[in-house]
Amino acid sequence: MNKKSNILLIYTGGTIGMIRDFETGALKNFNFKDLLKHIPELKLLDCNISTRSFEKPIDSSNMNPKYWIDIASIIEDNYTMFDGFVILHGSDTMSYTASALSFMLENLSKPVIFTGSQLPIGDLRTDAKENLITSIQIAALKENGFSSITEVGLYFEYKLYRANRTTKINAEHFEAFASLNYPALVQSGVHLKVNKNALLPVNRRKKLKVHKKMESNILLVKMFPGLDETTINHLFNYPQIKGLVLESYGSGNLTNEPWFLSALKKIIARDIPVINVTQCSGGSVSMGKYETSLELKKLGVISAKDATTEAALAKLMYLLGEKLTSNSFKTIFETSLRGEMH
């Protein structure tokens, strides 16, 4: 028989724990203890729940890698005491944080589930309760005494996704996230349906390794028709730059005009990894498919394949922090490390 799971609920901020300021009408954070008062249903769940909160909860627009390290450290310090972790986080940058955590937490054998909501927990029509309660149930799921989910997930509106496959697609709908290149890991209906074939394999003998060096001196440039030579040269010559993500068109295409290729050649010659990720929500980079991407391949541009921009950024920050040799960087980047790409 499975014994009751111990779940650690970590509150970082976001709409889920906000109230409306009646004078200004704006949403602001309130005390985490009050959050629990709003959900007496939590007591009915068949698991033990403990809570931690950021001292000052934040709107996730203020998220940064220092906070990612705080979340990773809370998980690391409590890893042996708990069977699963649920992180309450604003939806705006949830896919970034959750993608980053998927790389920072190596050899996970327990669930780390991110969730939040579009409406505050106190609102009558809130989506917060379902998201929170089901996230806890998923984090507590066990089979033969072992956690069913052993990766970083993101739960929103009846679906658990692999976190590093998600992106926020809607600022209004309860279905705020999508995972266009990978199926849901769990569907919540009358029962919780686990899609076992989609889960990451686990090796329980390997110990959790927490990586806390994330290089944030990187740039993300979204290509658009009209982005000119002066701007590109200005951006690429940014002296502190350690890595560059280019959001390309379609299956990884960028202009092949000589000025652009020469700017690329120069930045790659400075040993700065250049990652090609598509600005399409679904599909994959496939350099060499069109003439406009053939040259990129020859120059040594790295393919993010079917990864999201959020995952490509997080992976770049993580791998730069690992201080790899430039020879191995491309090979490792183009290998799936946490199920973030095919």
Total of residues contacting ligand ASP (CB under 6 A): 11
Q: Residues with Cβ < 8 Å from 228, sequence gap 6 or more?
A: none
Identity of the amino acid at 13: G
Q: Which is closer to ligand ASP, CB of 84 or CB of 116?
A: 116
Q: How far apart are CA 200 and CA 302, in angstroms?
A: 24
Of the candidates 12, 15, 115, 292, the residue annotated as catalytic is: 15
Residue 158 Cβ, how far from ligand ASP at the closest point, in Å?
17
Q: Which is closer to ligand ASP, CB of 114 or CB of 236?
A: 114
For 208, the token pair is 């959790």
**60 lies in the site for ligand ASP, by CB under 6 A:** yes
Query: Are the C-beta atoms of 243 and 273 separated by less than 8 Å?
Result: yes
Among the listed residues 8, 9, 10, 14, the single contact to ligand ASP using CB under 6 A: 14
From the list 187, 111, 115, the residue with the least C-alpha distance to 146 is 111
**123 lies in the site for ligand ASP, by CB under 6 A:** no
Calculate helix-pair angle for 258-269, 229-236, nearest 10 degrees. Answer: 0
Among the listed residues 90, 111, 321, 339, the single contact to ligand ASP using CB under 6 A: 90
Among the listed residues 2, 31, 61, 237, the single contact to ligand ASP using CB under 6 A: 61
Q: Percentages helix, strand, coil for the chain, rounded to the nearest 5?
A: 30, 25, 45
Residue 93 Cβ, how far from ligand ASP at the closest point, in Å?
6
For ligand ASP, which stretch binds (CB under 6 A), given 84-92, 137-145, 239-247, 266-274?
A: 84-92
Q: How far apart are CA 310 and CA 161, in angstroms?
A: 14
**12 lies in the site for ligand ASP, by CB under 6 A:** no
Q: Which is closer to ligand ASP, CB of 115 or CB of 148?
A: 115
167 is a catalytic site residue: no
H-helix or E-strand containing 48?
strand 47-58
Active site positions, annotated: 15
List contacts with ligand ASP (CB under 6 A). 13-15, 59-61, 90-92, 116, 118
